[in-house]
Amino acid sequence: MRISPLFAAALLQASIAWSSPVESDDLVTRGASKRPNHPIKPHHPGKPFPVSPARSKTCTVKSYGNGKDDSTNVLSAIKSCNNGGHVIFSKDKTYTIGTALDLTFLKNIDLDVQGTIKFTNDTDYWQANAFKQVFQNATTFFQLGGEDVNVYGGGTFDGNGQVWYDLYAKNNLVLRPILFGTIGLKGGRIENLKMRYSPQWYNLVANSTNVVFSDISISGYSSSSNVAKNTDGWDTYRSDNIVIQNSHIDNGDDCVSFKPNSTNIVVQNLICNGSHGISVGSLGQYKGEVDYVKNIYTYNVSMSNASDGARIKVWPGVSSALSDDLQGGGGLGAVSNITYDGMVLSNVDYAIEITQCYGQKNLTLCNQFPSNLTISDVTIKNFKGTTSKKHDPLVGYLVCSSPTVCSDINIQNVTVKSPSGTNQYACANIDGIDSQVNCKKLL
């Protein structure tokens, strides 16, 4: 059969559009960014990530300007370019979002954010309409999910957080939206973006698999006396095969936190400042529920001006209250195969903190009702630097609620010192820990 030149050209274009892992030069000439595809290195979760085909069409989002809600324009462009397209948010433009957007229907699409996406400061609207997630009263401005979705472009997501910081100071039960909600995404890459002024956590990764976050800049502090609180960099929940790498985080809570049922995750090459550390948990918060976190590898982290470096936090077996808006205890499950490899610390309160009494200050009561959630097979190695003056002479806190639910904790080549030159740890209920570190036994 003879193939016409036009049909042959169409076949060639289809081949380019659906087999190449990068954007075609033709799309780039139309103002589209080239897809970054940063390599996953030096560590990999072990499971393959799907290859994302090149896109064959472009759609540019219009902006009304002057703070007018651009949500309908965003949704229109995304629907037009879904299933094989590339959506451009133009450079030097600000797109105002005043409507909660459910984007969990996406498939084979790139969102090229070159400009700024800014959410309105209408706290009444967002408290009523932000998407309610199923963990810790979390809500999100939008839900991004589906299959084979990439977001990049060098632009900015702005949560307009100041109004929320001030509101939360008056009422700590207010529901503050998370800036970037990755919800039910099966295969995707979030790369080369700036995230600013989130009302609460910057990222929630829930019910997602095969997602890479790379080259993300996170920052945003309060300009008033009301501190920006609970501004975690990433929280993973019920998600598998996730990579978070090559990023700079300035925030006021966990740099990265592995929430319940987070598995096969690599976190590497991060600069964290002002945070609460790289944290497993909190876990065991909800009585009767089973939480698992396993196969986590954290590598090459710089941690400064933080409460913790490596942190594992588990609720006890008795109901406890950390704050008015955060209570729990009595949940089931296990933490296993956790590795922290390589961390440089500066002015960090505790280099290492392991607790099964999260939310419970009464250690006697905690030990009477040990955690139902076990911690085992944990390796923490190759840490150096200095702690803050806060707990001097202690540099760490290694306290489990019972040796029967906490075992195989291995600490190697940790040379962190306190300002006074000591390297002492508070220790309790961990068999063999006193042969690994300089312990001050609490029990």
Phi, psi of 137 (to 5 degrees): 55, 25
Q: What is the dihedral of CA 204, 206, 211, 214, to 10 degrees?
A: 10
Structure tokens at 158: 């702005």
The residues, ordered by sequence, that sit 6+ positions from 98 with a Cβ below 8 Å of its Cβ are 69, 71, 119, 120, 122, 125
Tell me the three state secondary structure of residue 225: coil
Please state, in angstroms and as integers, the Cα–Cα distance from residue 362 to each residue in 28, 296, 320, 373, 428, following that order: 60, 30, 10, 18, 14
Q: Is residue 162 within 8 Å of residue 197, measured between CB atoms? A: yes
- 328 backbone φψ class: left, alpha, beta (φ>0; ψ -120 to 50): left
Residue 332: CB atoms within 10 A of its CB come to: 18
Candidates 38, 43, 276, 391; catalytic one: 276
Q: Is 43 a known active-site residue?
A: no
Q: Which of 127, 120, 129 is nearest to 102 (CA)?
A: 129
Distances (CA, A) of 433 to 29, 178, 407: 60, 38, 9
Amino acid at 19: S
In the numeric block, the tokens 């790369």 are attached to 191
- The set of catalytic residues is 276
